[in-house]
Amino acid sequence: MELIVYNKSGNKTERTVQVNDSVFGIEPNDHAIYLDVKQFLANQRQGTHKSKDRSEVSGSTKKLKKQKGTGGARSGDINSPLFVGGGRVFGPRPRDYSFKLNKKLKRLARKSALSYKAKENNILVVEDFNFETPKTKNFIEILNNLKIFDKKTLLILFESNKSVYLSSRNLGQVKVVNVTDLNTYDILNANNLMFLESSIAEFNKIQSEA
């Protein structure tokens, strides 16, 4: 599969890049995508939720009334979950929500997500660019030239670039990642993938070695 390289002005150049059909042109596996996204979201959870049970709430442990003869239901102390201010029954406890997936499955999910984007023609390859100083205005100009300013965009870099990152940081619809950190969730969460020319070459290299 060939992708046209665009310049910062939004115009097509005479260059094209070759991408691997075994990555961008497979039959997507929806269940693999589901599992990978589920794992990603689960791993983001802190799992620090906690409520107090009857042994942890503040209150007397004295029995409120005698067991029999009152004509009412028996009751223990004031910390019982049946009373206002009592402990909670089966409340949340701190736990780890993360789980593991096989590398092959995660790789399949990423390829499936990329194939969906390729089928929808939502992948752009842009010639490498940089800013002398961080400037959001300059970054917005590039997005406007490419006609993707109003869409959620994932910019994939070859390596960390502080100027580009800082220039895009104030734009809520743009996320910048390194090519080695590309994951299924970010791919699907964006309307458009914008690869720099150097990053698509590196991505092809990584996939061929996988």
State the burial class of residue 67 (Cβ atoms within 10 Å of its Cβ: 0-12, 13-18, 19+).
exposed
Is residue 170 in some structural domain? yes
What range does the domain containing 184 cover?
Answer: 2-29+102-209
Q: Which two tokens stand for residue 27?
A: 């039959």
pLDDT average, residue stretch 144-165: 90
Residue 64 has pLDDT above 80, yes or no: yes
40 domain-assigned? no
Q: How many C-beta atoms surround the C-beta of residue 32 within 10 A?
A: 22
Could you read off the pLDDT of 65-101 as tens digits, one per residue? 999 999 999 999 999 999 999 999 999 999 999 999 9
Residue in the structure block whose two tokens are 């995508």 = 33
Q: What is the DSSP letter of 80?
A: S
User: What would the pLDDT profile of 176-208 be if each residue is shown by its tens digit?
Assistant: 999 889 999 999 999 999 999 888 888 877 776
Q: For the segment 4-39, what is each residue's pLDDT rounded down to a tens digit?
A: 888 888 888 888 888 888 888 899 999 999 999 999
Q: Decide if pLDDT at 162 tops 80.
A: yes
Candidates 104, 115, 168; CA nearest to 137 is 168
List, in order, residues 6 or more apart from 154 with CB less than 8 Å away: 174, 175, 176, 177, 186, 187, 189, 190, 192, 193, 194
Question: Does residue 43 lie in a domain region?
Answer: no
The CATH number given to whatever domain includes residue 144 is: 3.40.1370.10
Flag whether 72 is in a domain.
no
DSSP string for residues in 23-78 = HHSS---HHHHHHHHHHHHHHH---------TTTSSS--S-SS-SSSSSS-----T
- Looking at the DSSP bridge assignments, the partners of residue 80 are none
More confident residue, 63 or 2: 63
Question: Residue 208: what pLDDT?
Answer: 62
Q: Rounded distance, CA 126 to CA 47, Å?
A: 40
Residue 62 has pLDDT above 80, yes or no: yes
How many C-beta neighbours within 10 Å does residue 43 have? 12
Measured in degrees and rounded to the nearest 5, phi and psi for residue 36 equal -70, -45
HSE (side-chain half, CA atoms, 13 Å) at 131: 18
Number of structural domains (the chain) is 1
Is the model's pTM score more than 0.75?
yes
Residue 81: inside a domain: no
**Is residue 163, in this structure, part of any structural domain at all?**
yes
For residue 58, being part of any structural domain is answered with no
pLDDT for position 210: 59
Query: Is the Cα torsion angle 113, 118, 122, 127 positive or negative in sign?
Result: positive
Q: CA-to-CA distance for 155 and 187, rounded, in angstroms?
A: 10
